[in-house]
Amino acid sequence: MSGKRSRSFKCAVHHRDRQVCSENDFHLLLQPPTLFQRMVKVIADEFLTDDRERKYYADRYSCCPPPLFIIFITLVELGFFTYYTVVMGEINPSGPVPINSVFIYRPDKRGEIWRFLCYMVLHAGWLHLLFNLLVQVLVGLPLEMVHGSMRIGAVYMAGVLAGSLGTSVFDTDVYLVGASGGVYALLAAHLANVLLNYNNMEFGIVRLIGIFIVASADVGFAIYDRYAAEQVGPPVSYVAHLTGALAGLTIGLLVLKNFEQKLHEQLIWWVALGVYAACTLFGILFNVFNPDPFYPAN
């Protein structure tokens, strides 16, 4: 086959992908991909399972609409930490903790229902903030690029709510700050994404082990800080990590795109819905019928 005929044949093959319309356009295929295109391809390989889906996503994704939720919530949390650092005049790995903030979750102020969500904008020190921001950007941003802001926003906020409700039931004497419930919901949602598409994802077991190691290390430190370390200030809850992860796993199974729907996964969908609804309803009713604080307000 001559060079000209071979060139025409390649044009005809790639014309279906709308990349090449004529021989004059064939040079487009020879241009190296940009940094953004390489990033999109990595995300497609990580979160999509079918080769056609990966190619379509890599070719068509234009960052419109942009993944704004994770970026917005990250900037908000960083802004609140900066504000309270300036106001309180100190910064260290475990502080300052704005005890008297109207946003912090406190067991003696459970009647102020906005605290069950707004506590996420506060953090107990720069180490706590750094871990949460890194995880939600590195895990949440790619998830949002694939699944959309509405779905990832639902997962994140469900984890935040589950963290405070779980703490109010199982760890009743602690204050609560930080977005760990939402962050662990994102980690568990990534786990749900792997579980939904496990057969078609490369290195599925490696991903599961990696998520488990990161989550176990942080939860282990939180448990140690709660029971073994010397308490300098109010105790910090680790229950929010666990209940946030449970919310992320269940809501992730509900709202994330399943690229290969199977019959048994429909049963998993209903089980996940039932578990999250039952746990949330129990947490709400517990707080409604136990309105009295466990100790007087300071």
Check residues 254 and 215 and name the one with the higher pLDDT: 254
Which residue numbers are catalytic?
180, 241
Same domain, 143 and 216: yes
Among 11, 46, 64, give the residue marking a domain's end. 64
Same domain, 129 and 141: yes
- Structure-block tokens of residue 123: 């953090």
In degrees to the nearest 10, what's the CA dihedral of 39, 40, 45, 51? Answer: -140
Same domain, 133 and 244: yes
Is residue 17, in this structure, part of any structural domain at all?
A: no
What is the distance between the alpha carbons of residues 219 and 58, in angstroms, rounded to a whole number? Answer: 36
The runs of H, that is alpha helices, within 113-232 are: 115-118, 126-135, 141-147, 149-170, 180-196, 204-227
Q: How far is CA 232 from CA 9, 200, 223, 229, 251, in A?
A: 73, 48, 15, 9, 36
Is residue 115, in this structure, part of any structural domain at all?
A: yes
User: Residue 46: which domain range?
Assistant: 31-64
Same domain, 40 and 158: no
- Structure-block tokens of residue 33: 């991909």
Same domain, 105 and 235: yes
Residue 1: band (very low, low, confident or very high) from pLDDT cuts 50, 70, 90? very low
Among 11, 44, 64, give the residue marking a domain's end. 64
Write out pLDDT tens, residues 137-155: 988 888 888 888 898 999 9
User: Does 9 score more than 70 pLDDT?
Assistant: no
CATH number at residue 148: 1.20.1540.10
Is residue 23, in this structure, part of any structural domain at all?
A: no
Is residue 25, in this structure, part of any structural domain at all?
A: no
In total, how many domains does the chain have? 2
Among 41, 64, 87, give the residue marking a domain's end. 64
Is residue 296, in this structure, part of any structural domain at all?
A: no
Is residue 197, in this structure, part of any structural domain at all?
A: yes
Predicted confidence at residue 297, as pLDDT, reads 43
Q: Residue 105's beta-bridge partner residues?
A: 176
Same domain, 53 and 82: no
Same domain, 41 and 107: no
Average pLDDT in the chain: 77
Is residue 18, in this structure, part of any structural domain at all?
A: no
Same domain, 45 and 73: no
